[in-house]
Amino acid sequence: MEVLETVDRDRLTELHERDEFFWLDLTQPTADDLKTVGELLGLHPVALEDTIEFGQRPKLDQYGDHVLVVYYTARRAPETRMTPVEPVEIHIYISGSFVVTVRRSTCTELDELHHELDTADPKAEHYIVYRVFDVLTDAFYPIIEVLEEHLDAIEAEVLLAKPQKEQLAEIYRLKQNVQELTRRVVPQRDHFLAGTDTILNLPGLSRGTREYLRDVGDHLAQIVGELHRQQEDLQALTATYFNANANRLNSVATRLTIGGTFFLAWTLVTGFFGQNFGWLTDNIDTRHEFLIYGVGALVFPTLIIGTVFWVKRKDWF
pTM confidence score = 0.76
Q: Domain spanning 2-246: which CATH class is it, in words?
A: alpha beta
- Taking only the tens place, the pLDDT of each residue in 138-165 is 999 999 999 999 888 888 888 776 777 7
The answer to whether residue 10 scores a pLDDT higher than 70 is yes
Instruction: Quote the CA–CA distance of 273 and 281 in Å, as a whole number.
Output: 9
Q: By C-alpha distance, which of 311, 301, 237 is closest to 272?
A: 301
The phi and psi torsions of 178 (rounded to 5 degrees) equal -65, -40
253 confidence band (pLDDT: 50, 70, 90):
confident
With contact defined as beta carbons under 8 Å apart, do 23 and 40 qualify?
no
Instruction: Quote the CA–CA distance of 56 and 38 in Å, as a whole number.
Output: 18
The answer to whether residue 122 scores a pLDDT higher than 70 is no
> 3-state DSSP call for residue 274?
coil
| Pairwise pLDDT comparison (102 vs 302), residue with the higher score | 102
The enclosing H or E element of 219 equals: helix 210-273
Residue boundaries of the structural domains of the chain? 2-246, 251-316
- Taking only the tens place, the pLDDT of each residue in 166-183 is 888 888 888 999 999 999
> 3-state DSSP call for residue 88?
strand
With contact defined as beta carbons under 8 Å apart, do 58 and 184 qualify?
yes
Chain-wide mean pLDDT for the chain? 85
Amino acid at 259: G
With contact defined as beta carbons under 8 Å apart, do 159 and 94 qualify?
no
| Pairwise pLDDT comparison (212 vs 131), residue with the higher score | 131
Give the gyration radius of the chain's Cα atoms.
35
Beta bridge partners, 68, equal: 61, 93
Residue 255's pLDDT is 78
The enclosing H or E element of 280 equals: helix 278-283
The answer to whether residue 207 scores a pLDDT higher than 70 is no
Instruction: Quote the CA–CA distance of 142 and 185 in Å, as a whole number.
Output: 15
- Taking only the tens place, the pLDDT of each residue in 17-59 is 888 888 999 999 999 999 999 999 999 999 999 999 998 999 9
Residue 57's pLDDT is 93
Percentage with pLDDT > 90 across the chain: 32
The answer to whether residue 120 scores a pLDDT higher than 70 is no
Residue 300's pLDDT is 83
